[in-house]
Amino acid sequence: MKISFQGELGSYSHQACCEAFPDAEPLPCRTFEGAMERAKGGESKYAIIPVENSTYGRIADIYYLLPESGLFIIREHFLRVNINLLALPGVSIREVKSAMSHSVLLGQCRKFLAKNNIKGVSGVDTAGSAKLVSQNQDRTKAALASPLAGQIYGLESLVEEVEDMSNNTTRFLVMANDSGENNVTEAKQFMTTIIFQVRNIPAALYKAMGGFATNGVNMVKLESYMVAGTFTSTQFYADLEGHPDEESVNRALAELKYFTSMVKILGVYEADSFREYNS
């Protein structure tokens, strides 16, 4: 079974793939679109895609890609992001003058870099940075990446878990070409992910949200973004607690449809246990 993801081997998406599907074959792709296309075309069983990080926020462009992918969300996975300072074997931290990584990851290690007088250098991605450090053989250059990247590219961890926030976590969505891949029927807690577009009437969003409040449905995430290249057409992404077959969720969705021009369910899946332990 192959799982497609964006990034190099050793990336955090690769690590999430290994955690969620230990026996699967990882299929690295250059872009998020490419990872989704592999699943859509059957080259991979699933695509695993990051959507948000507890420190950085939402992953750019993902909310535009999800509705157009033709895929269904069948699972979520939360990855604890541990960032290690990786260098060539035998190098000491005193020798390191710069550390390369993705700009997002550099922003999550500002305190560590400043404390150790190490210059942050922006790279294409985390695992790619580790690969470059391994190839260049420059003892003054290090990478900020996952422990998995260190293992793959033969680098040593000079310092482990250098991230500024100890709870740094990324949420991933597992996506399949067939909604029937999700056969969970007895989950303790369900999640439902939807996208919708409100009608162009006064207070449409306020009225659309009212159904969730009156029916006691918890909306844990709401994101808005422009569509069709205009400032008047806004689409929303939302994560709800519950299953559409539950009476409260069914009523809330029915009220939502009344005030919207489009509602689409992207997935119904079991809530990850991470939510229960971090609520």
Which residues belong to the active site? 170, 172
Q: How many CB atoms lie within 10 A of CB 203?
A: 10
Q: Which helix (H) or strand (E) holds 234?
A: strand 234-241
Q: Are 233 and 198 in contact (CB under 8 A)?
A: no
What's the CA gap between 98 and 247, in Å, rounded?
A: 56
Selection from 13, 18, 53 nearest residue 34 by Cα: 13
The C-alpha atoms of residue 113 and residue 97 are separated, in whole angstroms, by 10
**Helix or strand (DSSP H, E) at 275:** helix 273-277
| Distance (Å, whole) CA 250 – CA 211 | 10
Backbone angles phi, psi at 239, to 5 degrees: -110, 125
CA distances from 30 to 9, 27, 36 (A): 11, 10, 11
C-alpha span between 237 and 19 (Å, rounded)? 26
Region for residue 104 given its phi and psi (left: phi exceeds 0; alpha: psi -120 to 50; beta: otherwise):
alpha
Which H or E element spans position 268? strand 260-270
Q: Cα separation of 44 and 27, whole Å? A: 8
